[in-house]
Amino acid sequence: MALSGVRVLELAGLAPAPLCGMILADFGARVVRVDRTPYAAISTDRQGRGKRSLALNLRRPPGAAALRRLCCAADVLIEPFRQGVMEKLGLGPEVLLQENPRLIYARLTGFGQTGKYARSAGHDINYLALSGVLSKMGRKDENPYAPLNLLADFAGGGVMCALGIVIALYERTKSGKGQIIDASMAEGVAYLSSFLWKSQNLGIWDRPRGENILDSGAHYYETYKTSDGKFMAVGAIEPQFYEKLLKGLGLDSDELPSQFSYSDWPKMKKKFASIFAQKTQAEWCSIFDGTDACVTPVLSFDDVASHQHNKQRSSFIKNDEEEISPRPAPLLSRTPAVPSLQRDPFIGEHTEEILLEYGFTKEEIAKLYSDKVIEINKPKANL
């Protein structure tokens, strides 16, 4: 795979850092998740695909020393703590990069390593708010709303950090040197919103929130409930697509207001809603599939893997515990991702194996174990 041979140490954290590590693992990197000890009975990382687990107590000097030694043989370190935490442990980038100048030290935080909020707690909704993106989200006359925690945590955080790591790895092929990545979720999601900033003079976002084409204002960019309680998504922006939408709905454009007549959008939404409510989702799919009306079913997690298009592309995979999840994207023609189909690792499952691989002796491992610096959690066989 594309990242085969790349050694990654991912310090266990929540949401965005695990996604970053999973992306790298999916494309071939050997990712070690460094779990905290004493550990909880169940890991909070639901994105451990393809990773191995090392349980290590970084708050103990021998544990911090062990991580420093691991970093000497690693290519990438992903750390998800607030500004200053790693420095207190003696594991800041100035220490680790001095010992391994080729190390890519990726720091993934909500607000970044500098600035007023650098040491402040926060979550996706806070990063969205600070980026300006949240102010654009929500329906007319309603408060702004956060769309789950996908945008800042995962897109602006995990994905952007993975991109930064790959960029730094590529640059290292020329310079031979590692570097520090300051990945801020607030800045990452702001960068994702570049189109919003660049398109402000195009007339797409010049009306109040919830009254524009792409923010639930337009009747031709909306979701509608079907007779069986499901939904259809409509995105017929261009006039030629809008015509096909009207045809599928049994409407004549000559008898309707102009598509871009803002004042008529609320009335047209009610008309569309009454029509969509007359048929089931499957019936609407039979009408619109194969057309350019830009109308698709809103699929539930239960239905998405069995949809014909997704089945044809094998867009979803199933692991050895019958759990379904999305296949890695994008597809590479020569070196595609080959995601692990094994269950996620137990905390501390590979502690001994990893330390041996990184040059620790069995005696050193036994000492760390007896001093309760590491934990070994080998799964028991079901007999």
Residues with active-site annotation: 123, 153
Report the C-alpha gap between 106 and 108 in whole angstroms.
6
Instruction: Give the span between the Cα atoms of 127 and 154, in whole angstroms.
Output: 12
**CA-based torsion, 250, 255, 260, 262: positive or negative:** negative
Kindly list the distances between the CA atom of residue 193 and the CA atoms of 134, 148, 188, in Å, as whole numbers in the listed order.
10, 17, 9
Q: Nearest CA to 362 among 351, 348, 377?
A: 351
Distance CA 184, CA 161 (A): 9
Neighbouring-strand partners of residue 107? 79, 182
Helix/strand/coil for 40: coil
Two tokens, residue 208: 């109040």
Which of 329, 244, 325, 259 lies closest to 289 in space, CA to CA? 244
Rounded to whole angstroms, how far apart are CA atoms 16 and 72?
25
Asked whether the bond before 38 is cis by omega within 30 degrees of 0, the reply is yes
Q: Which residues pair with 295 in a beta bridge?
A: 234
* DSSP state for residue 290 in the 8-state scheme: T
Q: In the chain, what is the greatest distance between 2 CA atoms, to the nearest angstrom?
A: 84
Cis peptide bond prior to 330, omega within 30° of 0: yes
For residue 119 the two structure tokens come to 């040491």
Q: Is the four-CA dihedral 311, 316, 320, 323 of positive or negative sign?
A: negative
DSSP per residue, 135-163? GG-S-TTS-----TTIIIIIIIIIIHHHH
The residue among 342, 340, 316, 320 whose CA lies nearest residue 329 is 316
Peptide bond just before 147 cis, omega within 30 deg: no
